[in-house]
Copies of this chain bind each other. A is one copy, B any other.
Amino acid sequence: MNAENVLDVAMTAYWHSDPADVSVNAICQLAGVSKPSLYREFGSEDGLSRAVLDHYAQRVLSDVFAILQGGNGLQDTLDALIDFASSDLRMETGCLFYKMRAGKHRLGPLTLARVDEIDAMAHAAYSAFLRSFRDGEDWAPGLSVEAAAKYLSEQFALAITQRASGENPSRVREMMTLSLSVLLRT
């Protein structure tokens, strides 16, 4: 049965297209697993997609959290985020988390709850990151840390979503650089 392999296959399928467009049947076929086996392991489609989201979080999102918590300077960290969104090969087809978040209303309760948890963790991480630079020499805005955190996270999501829709990566980089420039003193 190999649950790990199922998670990998499902993650790739959900990620490359869209969670709402990949049926349980398709995942069973792709993973070479019978439907009852899958249901014994994950309970429901909701359970599967929650497990897939957890898998994705520890395989991909952790890298973003690592960037935010890396202890580097404001400018360098923002540059790293821009790099990740516009150049990391894994983001070529977008971010599974953002795809799930964008289609929230189609998710089951388990997956929805995880999405909200991760969203809250991300917001906390962005806030902590920005707070450590407020009143520093690079910090520009008269914005609250909360507002800047939301702004940063949404611009990050926008850049990745644009990339998923086929936008030229260097154009994405250009636009994200522009949008984040307001956070820095020139």
Which A residues have a C-beta under 8 Å from some C-beta of B? 17-18, 20-21, 102, 104-106, 141, 143, 147, 150-151, 154-155, 158, 162, 165, 171, 174-175, 178-179, 181-182
Contacts and interface: CB of A to CB of B under 8 A. Distances in A.
Given A154-B162, A158-B154, A162-B154, A178 B143 contact: yes
5 contacts: A102-B102, A104-B165, A150-B175, A154-B162, A179-B182
Contacts of A141: 178
A59 B11 CA distance: 41
This chain: how many copies in the complex?
2
A182 B175 contact: no
A34 to B, nearest CB: 29
Nearest to A141: B178
Contact of A182 (B106, B154, B182): B182
B151 A175 contact: yes
Contact of A174 (B147, B165, B178, B181): B147
A132 B105 CA distance: 42
Contact of A178 (B21, B105, B151, B165): B151
A106 B19 CA distance: 13
